[in-house]
Amino acid sequence: MQFDDADLVLRDPLIDKVLISSGDIQKRIRQLGTEISRDYQDRQPILVCILKGAFVFLADLSRCISVHHEVDFMAISSYHGGTESTGVVKIEKDLKSNITDRDIIIVEDIVDTGLTLNYLLELLETRSPKSIRVCALLDKTSRRIEEVPVTYSGFEIPDEFVIGFGLDYDEKYRNLPFIGVLKP
Ligand code: IMP
């Protein structure tokens, strides 16, 4: 059975609203896929999916990229001091691939303060890839503490805690097909 975004909001009293609809997400992912396919012609990048949040985005993005590419996964957990990310990241699962001399695209769900991504970029740079770029579905630019280069950015969003499309609250809501906001 399939529900549309509005049905899903109605069915859960904790969800306040849809911020980005499933239709808009799919449209933007197709554009990102087209852009990446054009930029990586005659190359074979490795899409590095940052678990858990980016798994839904990766699955859709990969199917919108027409050039050959590989996928690999990294699981990380960020330590939070209160609600704020500290940038101290624990690698729970490392890549299988050797990324030396390879073109890497980090696929992230959201860039908030930028501390996590900054740590990851510094770590992966030590492995001497040919290039590294970042593709993030969501970008909270107003919250940035560490300037990080996001080459492919899906949507710039306001400073609100969002859920859905891979993003969780207490491990829930990753399955929503839209980006939503919880009730305060
Ligand atoms: P940063 O280090 O502050 O950029 O935090 C990035 C990570 O924090 C993301 O990969 C998410 O796991 C998490 N995060 C940041 N904002 C949100 C949000 O609005 N909803 C869910 N997770 C978030």
Q: What is the pLDDT of residues 21-32, one digit of tens each?
A: 999 999 999 999
- Residue-wise pLDDT for 12-69, tens only, equals 999 999 999 999 999 999 999 999 999 999 999 999 999 999 999 999 999 999 999 9
Cα distance between residue 56 and residue 42, in whole Å? 26
- Its pTM stands at 0.95
- Residue-wise pLDDT for 116-138, tens only, equals 999 999 999 999 999 999 999 99
- Checking if the pLDDT of 82 tops 60, the result is no
Q: Average per-residue pLDDT in the chain? A: 94
- Identify the pLDDT of residue 1: 65
Q: Are 135 and 164 in contact (CB under 8 A)?
A: no
- Ligand 1 pocket: which residues have CB below 6 Å? 53, 78, 85, 108-117, 161-162, 167
Question: Best mutation site among 112, 122, 155, 157 for ligand 1, i.e. most ligand atoms within 8 A of its Cβ?
Answer: 112
Backbone angles phi, psi at 38, to 5 degrees: -70, -40
Q: What domains sit in the chain, N to C, each tagged with a CATH number?
A: 21-159 (3.40.50.2020)
